[in-house]
Amino acid sequence: MPVAPFDGALAVVTGAGSGFGRATALALSERGATVIAADVDGDAAERTAALAGALGAGATAYEVDVSDGAAMEKFAVDVRAGHRVPDIVVNNAGIAVMGSFLDTGVDDWERILGVNLWGVIHGSRLFGAQMLERSRALPAKPERPNKGGHIVNIASAAAYSPSRLLPAYCTTKAAVLMLSECLRGELAGARIGVTAVCPGFSETGILRNATLVGMEGRRGERFRELGRHGLRLRRYPPEKVAERIVDAIVKNKAVVPVNAEAHLTRGLSRLSPGAMRLLARVRVG
């Protein structure tokens, strides 16, 4: 891969304050992109922008809640007015709700759907429309199939791995995967690429910040600690996921399972869905 394949590109990354978002913002910046680092935590977005700006062509931080449709409308307008139409959009912002379906309340569902699904819908719809408008004015170049832009939606191996522990999370990520597949078909003619990235276990803060339902007190804390310990043992940092995201953009890949367990469950979900349903019965914690 060239050292700087994204020279001159403008990249928007949501959830850029930490985890996959920060790692992706820095990876794109290192390769020549100007980065828009967006996060609901404005201070975290500023820290990412400072790091990215020191590495590459420059970066700007925005504080935005991806679940807020009006805020995202304003964000998309501000990016276009203050910069231009982005070349890359990474819809990364995400949260986790863990616990059984019957313990998961309406408020929990609305929150996770707002961030994990509506956040991806808002980012894809608003910036996708900008890319489409621009693409129609560009000359055709068959050798660059995603010249019109690229949208990356961060799904998860949970998108195709049912779990009694993660019904809300799995549901949102499965929806993101299907949305990405549909959008890829719709935008292909405009030379706009769409990728769903499906990481397995990785060392991010999503478990630390997860909402646990039906697991109060010691049981909940024990579960968090077991999860954190498992992720530390897994030793798969966000930077490795970011490298796969960069590669997916360059090669215009449709679906990218990341790390061994993501590939394994992807293959098993196709070859033996019954086995996946049996695994979903396993009680954790």
Answer whether 171's CB lies under 8 Å from 161's CB.
no
Answer whether 138's CB lies under 8 Å from 149's CB.
no
> Which of 89, 64, 90 minimizes the C-alpha distance to 238?
90
Find the DSSP H helices in the chain.
19-30, 42-55, 69-82, 106-112, 119-135, 167-187, 217-234, 238-251, 260-271, 273-279
In order of 87, 105, 167, 212, 255, the CA distances from 249 in angstroms are 11, 37, 30, 34, 11
- Other Cβ atoms within 10 Å of 268 Cβ, number: 16
Residue type, 54: A
Tokens 């949208």 found at: 151
Residues that are catalytic:
169
Cα–Cα distance measured from residue 16 to residue 61, given in angstroms and rounded to the nearest whole number: 9
